Structure 1
Amino acid sequence: MQLRRVGADALLIEVDNPLDWFAALDAERGAGRLAVVDIVPGARTVLLDGVSDPVRLAARLRDWSIDPAAVPHEPPIVVDVRFDGVDLPFVAEHAITTVDAVVGALTGTELTVAFCGFAPGFAYLRGLPWSVPRLEEPRTQVPAGSVALAAEFAGIYPTPSPGGWRIVGHSDADLFDVDKKPPALLTPGRSVRFRAA
C-alpha cells in the first residue's frame, strides 16, 4: 500500500484490492468512524476526499488490514442484454471461440463494478474471461445502451457518445437517473450479471 497527499484535503491510497478498501472505508464512514466527504475507487486506487486531517488519517490507515470475507455482498444486479453487437464476431475470433460461447461466457460470469467514470452512469465491470483490444479508431457515435468490451472491462454506454470499445450487444437498462438515490444503477463494488434477452 502507498499513500499520497492530493491537494490540501485528500488522500490517494494505491492498493492491489481497491474494492475491498472502498467497501471497508465506506462502512467506516457509515458507522461514523471516518469523516470524509467522498470515497472514490479507481482501477488501482481509492481516493478519500474532504479529509479534515490527512496526516493523522494516513498514519491510521498504515496500520489497517482489510478482510475481504468481512465485506458485505449484495445480490447481483441482473441486466438484460440483446447480444446483437456489431463486434461480437470479432470478440469470438479474438477469443478463439464461437459467438455462442462468448455469449455463454458473458451471461455465465458474475462481473463486479470496479469503478465509475467517463460519463454519469458508466460503470467499468471487471471479471471478463479474456482481454479485448479497443478499436484502432474510435466510433464518433455509440448508441445509448450499447454493451461493449475493452481490455479487461465491460461497460454499458448510458448515453450516446463517442467510444472505442467493442460492441457486443444492447440493453434498455436505465443506468442513470438524477432523481433516484443513488442516481447510478451500477455502483462500485456491486455484482452484475448479464442475462440474454
Structure 2
Amino acid sequence: MTKHSNEVCQDFLRGICKRTNCKYQHKIRKFVVCKYWLRGLCMKGEEQCEYLHEYNLSKMPKCAYYKLYGVCNLTNCIYSHDKVKSGRCNWYDRGFCRKGLKCNKKHVKQVVCQLYLTGFCPRGPSCPNGHPKMDLIGKHREFSFFNKNLYDKMMAIIEEGGDDFVSAFFLFPVELTVWHHWTQLFRCVDIKSTNRN
C-alpha cells in the first residue's frame, strides 16, 4: 500500500477510516509526549493518539506554569521548561516592557506592593509582592521618590494629616509610579481637609 500524500488522514485520527488504499498517512510522526498518557488518562490509545505514549524527557510537553508565569515552583516537575527566554525582564519587573510578547526575557506577573509605593515595606526582600525600581522609568527627576520637593511636601502632609492621612492613603487607587501615587494622595488629603471646614 503506497501513500500519495504526506498529510495525516483525519479519519484515521478519529478512528473511522475504513479505506483499504487510503491516500493519506496513517502513521504519524510523534514529537511530544501525551500529557494525558502521563497521568493514565489518554482515551485515544497509542495508535490513534497524535502524541507519544512513552516516557521521554527530551520530548515532554511544555510546563503550563512555566509557560504562563515564567516560573515553575514544583521541585520535581517532569514537564519541559522552555530555556529560550533568558532571565527576568528588568523593564517588566519595574512596571512596563515596550517589547511585550516579543521580549526575549521572562515576564513574571506580580502584584505591586502598596507599602513599598509609600516608601517603605517592612518585609523588604522577603515580600511576596513586587517592588518596582524607579531607576528604569527614565531620566526624569520628577519620577524619583527622593525628589527633595516631593519629599518635603509628603512630610508636611504626614505631619498635618494624622489619621486623615492614613485613611486617605488607603482609599485611593494605587498607581505604578510614585509621582502619580503621591499626587493622588495629595488630592485625597486636600479634599478631606477642605471638607472638615
Q: How would you bin the TM-score normalised by the shorter chain?
A: under 0.3
Normalising by structure 2, report the TM-score.
0.23
Higher alpha-carbon Rg? 2
Structure number with higher strand proportion: 1
With CA pairs under 8 Å and 6+ residues apart, which has the higher RCO, 1 or 2? Answer: 1
Structure number with higher helix proportion: 2
Normalising by structure 1, report the TM-score.
0.23
